[in-house]
């Protein structure tokens, strides 16, 4: 049995299917979101990040790109990983990736109950989009400005760097399983990032 969780970018059909299965479990089966809304066709043009343990996806995040910002979507974790630091590690992987690609900000949407948790990750409420009510949840638009790495991919980057596989931009990261189970105590009355 693996004692490490590996976070990387989906780069095969098998891994893509693992991520879609995880999202189906969390969003469709657990939360009751219509499958047609969850699987909106944007998965094929997005970057999918996932955390894997023993051949199974345990967390995922979808990233889409627009002009000068990246949008984080469809963050999902299996219930047993929700009160760990795994969501933070997956998000940090995403922040590093989009910053390396030259994006200066990330936008997302979160449930009102999770706003404090997202703010701990550096997000703030955004006035660029309206608050929505979706699936009986109050959804806040949020954004985060990113610090830029010393070296990011741009028009002057070597062709090999520009054409490399997406998964090679920052590579796979491994985290000892025991390190992820540091309890998060945002607020005893609040949910944790899902």
pLDDT tens digits for range 146-168: 987 777 777 777 787 777 777 77
Q: Is residue 40 part of a domain?
A: yes
Q: Is residue 112 part of a domain?
A: no
**Average of per-residue pLDDT values in the chain:** 85
pLDDT at 184 over 60: no
How many domains does the chain fold into? 1
Q: Is residue 166 part of a domain?
A: no
For residues 144 and 115, is the Cβ–Cβ distance under 8 A? no
Q: Is residue 28 part of a domain?
A: yes
Q: Is residue 71 part of a domain?
A: yes
Q: Is residue 153 part of a domain?
A: no
**Looking at residue 64, which CATH number applies to its domain?**
3.40.630.30
Q: Is residue 145 part of a domain?
A: no
Q: Nearest to residue 176, comparing CAs of 53, 77, 10, 50? A: 53
> Dihedrals φ, ψ of 149, to 5°?
-70, 160
CB hemisphere CA count around 61 (13 angstroms): 27
**pLDDT score at 193:** 47
Q: Is residue 157 part of a domain?
A: no
> Scanning the structure block, which residue is given the tokens 């997005």?
46
Query: pLDDT per residue over 4-33, tens digit each?
Result: 899 999 999 999 999 999 999 999 999 888
Q: If DSSP codes are grouped into helix, strand and coil, which group holds residue 64? A: strand
Q: Beta partners for 125?
A: 142
pLDDT category at 180 given cuts 50, 70, 90 is low
Which of 66-80, 121-135, 175-189 holds the top average pLDDT?
66-80
Q: Nearest to residue 67, comparing CAs of 130, 158, 128? A: 128
Mean pLDDT in residue range 93-115: 91
- Give the residue numbers spanning the domain of 25: 4-104+171-180
């Amino acid at each position: 049995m693996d004692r490490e969780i590996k976070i990387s970018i989906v780069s095969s059909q098998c891994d893509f299917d693992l991520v879609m299965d995880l999202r189906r479990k969390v969003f469709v089966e657990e939360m009751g979101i219509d499958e047609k809304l969850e699987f909106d066709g944007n998965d094929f043009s997005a970057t999918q990040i996932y955390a894997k343990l023993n051949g199974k996806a345990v967390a995922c995040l979808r990233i889409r790109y627009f002009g000068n910002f990246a949008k984080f979507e469809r963050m999902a974790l299996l219930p047993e990983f929700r009160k760990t630091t795994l969501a933070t590690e997956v998000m940090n992987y995403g922040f590093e990736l989009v910053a390396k690609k030259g994006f200066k900000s990330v936008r997302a949407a979160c449930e009102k109950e999770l706003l404090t948790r997202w703010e701990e990750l550096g997000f703030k409420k955004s006035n660029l989009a309206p608050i929505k009510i979706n699936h009986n949840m109050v959804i806040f638009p949020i954004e985060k400005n990113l610090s830029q790495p010393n070296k990011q991919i741009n028009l002057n980057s070597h062709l090999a760097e520009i054409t490399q596989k997406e998964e090679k931009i920052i590579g796979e990261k491994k985290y000892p399983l025991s390190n992820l189970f540091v309890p998060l105590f945002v607020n005893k009355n609040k949910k944790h990032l899902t």
